[in-house]
Amino acid sequence: MLLIVFTLSMFASATLLFLVEPMIAKMLLPLLGGTPAVWNTCMVFFQIMLLAGYFYAYVAMKWLGRRTQIVVHLTLVLLPLLVSSLPLHLPRGWEPPTQNSPVFWLLGVLVVSVGLPFFVLSSSTPVLQRWFGDTHHKQASDPYFLYAASNVGSLAGLMAYPFLLEPLLRLSEQSRLWKSGYIIFVLMTLACAALVWNSKSRLATMNLAEAETAATKRIWVERLRWIALAFVPSSLMIGITTALTTDVPAIPLFWVLPLALYLISFILVFAKRQLISHDWLVRRMPFLILAALVPVVSQTKLPLALLLTLYLLVLFVVALVCHGELARSRPAVSRLTEFYLWISVGGVIGGIFNSLVAPLVFHSVLEFPLVLIAAALLRPPIDVKALTGSALLWAKRKDWLLPLALGIVMLAVIIGVGHFGFKPSRPLNILLFGYAMLWCLSFGKRPVRFAAGVAALFFASTFYPGSFGHILHAERSFYGVSRVTNDPDGKFRYLFHGGTIHGIQSLDDTKSREPLAYFTRNGPAGDIFRTEQARLPHGNIAVVGLGAGAMACHLAPGQTLTYYEIDPSVTGIAENPKYFTFLSQCAPNAKIILGDARLKLRDAPDGQYGLISLDAFSGDTIPMHLVTREAVELYKRKLAPGGVLVFQISNLYLQMSPILAALADDAHLKIATADDTYVSPKEIEDGKFPSRWIVMARDEKAIHDLATNSSTPGRWVPVERRQGTRVWTDDYSNLLSIIKWH
């Protein structure tokens, strides 16, 4: 009975804890443009609150008597129900800053909205586990198996959200359901307290020799090792989440998968029976680290399914190895809360490093390869013979000399490739990095040598131009990494956001006013602007998403242009004539409003714009909150009579048409689409990209005029709503239904 009640209580607390994480993050996404940094910052907050909960548990167990502990903890558990923290909701009137990073604003919102219940739940795992460890149950001497049960609950909560709660329930319904679950957790905690209220502490009878033995193990070397082993999987989890959601939407599924594997690793290593051999994992880890490094060093864009599989497999194996080392070094039950405290410290440092330090210090996502190097260093050695004397000295020297040789050779080859004019390509990448990877893999038995080899390989690869070409400028903000580059032929200048091109300009002065990429004059964008010029030659145009500013060159004399851009770094790049001259040449008086478009468009007068075009991006997609019922109603209010609403939906990973068709039908708007995906080799050479567009309007005439003014007859066709497609709202969306998995 005792074991069942404690197991179910810990399962319930962990389930609630990890249900609330994606739920509150999804509530916040509409305020911050759908950027993956929202989730990463939320993860830092969750880790800090977890550390605070573990610290409270450590202090309470160390300084308070049994019954005092119980009274204090029960009071804490009841507090969220007494101070109106539930159901969960965001505080009213809080709007993110537009000029500065919203990180600290976001942390403040999280403290106010979910801080107290999250703190309570995070403290319950070590408190309940320690209460059980103090009993005379036959399994109380090693209660770490309850940590596995807790992580099973965490996993259940995580997986339930994207596959059950998100597709079926609105956010308000999810919040009310979560409150009901919290009440059940309170009742179960009361039951645990009742079961241990009169029991004597098993630890109180521990003899002096055991206490002295426990005390001798409290050394800082051990604690620092715990911190390091917890740091690497935590940092890698957030780094992989960033990598996965840079070019695909920041949706709960892609947050949940890395975190789920992270939790499963704890379940497996702290279980009573080991299902996967620790030594087997240690031997496979070098190969997987190098495999994960391939897209980074070669700047190759892999298919989503392959990238997802590779990164998640690497995270899982690294987490199993690091957490396995933690499980092997777990202390006696008397130090249980201390052990969890130091693990939490490592997790928090990993989160802070990735989410707060890295965006300020690095111009690109360097934290991912750096933590792979740290993982290589922490990995236990493989079949290393005991050496002494000169043999040991020579082996240690080779730990640095061989990686140095690898780095020098790689650097020389990369410089030579550039000197002889070889352009980056898949065969060249295989030839260039394949041999280097095999050479580095030969260092795998010795952790220091292998880590140094990985570092040398990564350093040399920074001189390889890859798909980005010659980088003129790189800048990182809360919203991602922006790069300005020239192509190897010197014909075009590119603006990259993450790994996706979001602007091209010809370096030929005679062609520098020509919109390229998705916005060419002979493509759908040209059709849209020609129609708008004929209909409203002196109209106002709003464009959501600045990019390089190419749309400015579609502007006719007498028309005014207003850009809405959330990322200050993109604005700085587009306005700087050193990088792009679309704005300075074509629309020097264009207005740029910084901030989220949904929030800023509310301030525009109703009926202000004859055309609203959405080309906002978070990686390779329109942020979800810009394609909801409430968003479309806002756009309708801001459109002038006869105005049109435009969506640029060119996308590698999402099929947006069904959602937009449902929204148009719901808003009683006419809708048409243009599929301009066939682009000739000559057009590609001239800088044109395949594109897809959707236009909505109140009346059929606007759609008819668009088809009439098209440079390609029959390009614009109506879109029918698919039967059963549910309308997205601010309270409901389901991106799983529109992901392209192939």
Q: How far apart are CA 148 and CA 511, in angstroms?
A: 63
Which amino acid belongs to residue 105?
W
Neighbouring-strand partners of residue 654: 739
456, 410, 445, 458: which is closest to 431 by C-alpha? Answer: 410
Strand 470-477 relative to strand 591-594, pairing: unpaired
The one catalytic residue among 134, 487, 615, 705: 615
Question: CA of 183: how far to CAs of 66, 77, 360, 381, 572, in Å?
Answer: 24, 10, 41, 48, 50
Contact between residue 703 and residue 669 where contact means Cβ atoms under 8 Å apart: no
What CA–CA distance (Å, rounded) separates 652 from 500?
Answer: 10
346, 229 contact by CB (below 8 A): yes
**Residue 89 burial class via C-beta count within 10 angstroms: exposed 0-12, middle 13-18, buried 19 and up:** middle
How many angstroms separate the Cα of 397 from the Cα of each of 66, 220, 401, 434, 448?
Answer: 55, 28, 6, 26, 11
Q: Which structure tokens are listed for 187?
A: 């009742």
C-alpha dist (Å) from residue 613 to 545, 628, 646: 9, 15, 4
Separation CA 47–CA 17 (nearest Å):
12
Q: Is 615 tagged catalytic?
A: yes
| Inter-residue contact 546 to 592 (CB < 8 Å) | yes
Q: Which among 479, 615, 627, 353 is positioned nearest to 98, based on CA atoms?
A: 479
Measured CA to CA, the distance from residue 565 to residue 594 in angstroms comes to 5
The residue among 704, 700, 693 whose CA lies nearest residue 668 is 700
Task: Provide the annotated active-site residues.
Answer: 615
